[in-house]
Amino acid sequence: MGGKILRRTMRDCCKIFGLVILGLILSLFFSRLILPSQVDDVSPLMNCTYEVLDLGDVYFVVPKFENVSIVDVDGWCEEILAKNKNLAMHGIYHSYEEFGIYRDEIYFDEGVEIFQDCFGIAPVRFKPGQLKWTDENNWVKEKMEVDLFWNHIFHKVYHCGNSGLFPNWVIRIF
């Protein structure tokens, strides 16, 4: 008798647990469907095709990838502006683990200035390369919004050059 009740309780528990998980997966799916999608690694050197750029609502631009400033590439800023998307900054040089170590204001402001020269507006949103972040850089959060790990969970994030953890076609589906 007691065993029967226990088995039933366990079965009900499993059912509730399953429903909760399903609910979480569905809400994640819909938040990714509804919230603005993003394109990372927007840079003249990262092979951004129109096909990828057209998937995003927000472009995360790298100001100086491989030491080439975006303002020095003829017509690039105008081309990106013509897409009429929201623009944010993605690293400064986007070197490996760039913001995984402490960066000072001088370092950061170089990116801000390049961004401003290119687009005529200062960035108000920032995402570090590879999402690597040390809390020593939290001072940036007082200047602008900083997108970290959870941003990539709740939004679809495409990558120029298809260089993300998941290829763009997977992001398109989920």
Residues that bind Zn ion (CB under 5 A): 40-41, 129
Residue 163 CB, nearest distance to Zn ion (Å)?
7
d(CA 138, CA 117): 25
The region, left, alpha or beta by phi > 0 then psi within -120 to 50, assigned to residue 78 is alpha
Taking CA atoms, 15 is separated from 5, 8, 22, in Å, by: 15, 11, 10
CB under 8 Å to 162, separation ≥6 — which residues?
A: 52, 168
Query: Which tokens hold the place of 26?
Result: 């569905």
Residue 129 CB, nearest distance to Zn ion (Å)?
5
C-alpha distance across the termini of the chain, in Å: 46
Q: Which amino acid is at 133?
A: W
Using the minimum distance from each CB to Zn ion, give the nearer residue, 42 or 112. 42
Using the minimum distance from each CB to Zn ion, give the nearer residue, 23 or 167. 167
Residue 131 CB, nearest distance to Zn ion (Å)?
8
Using the minimum distance from each CB to Zn ion, give the nearer residue, 40 or 147. 40
Residue 41 CB, nearest distance to Zn ion (Å)?
4
Using the minimum distance from each CB to Zn ion, give the nearer residue, 41 or 147. 41
Tokens 């108000």 correspond to what residue? 124
Q: Is 166 exposed, middle or buried (0-12, 13-18, 19+ CB in 10 A)?
A: middle
Using the minimum distance from each CB to Zn ion, give the nearer residue, 119 or 126. 126
Residue 19 CB, nearest distance to Zn ion (Å)?
36
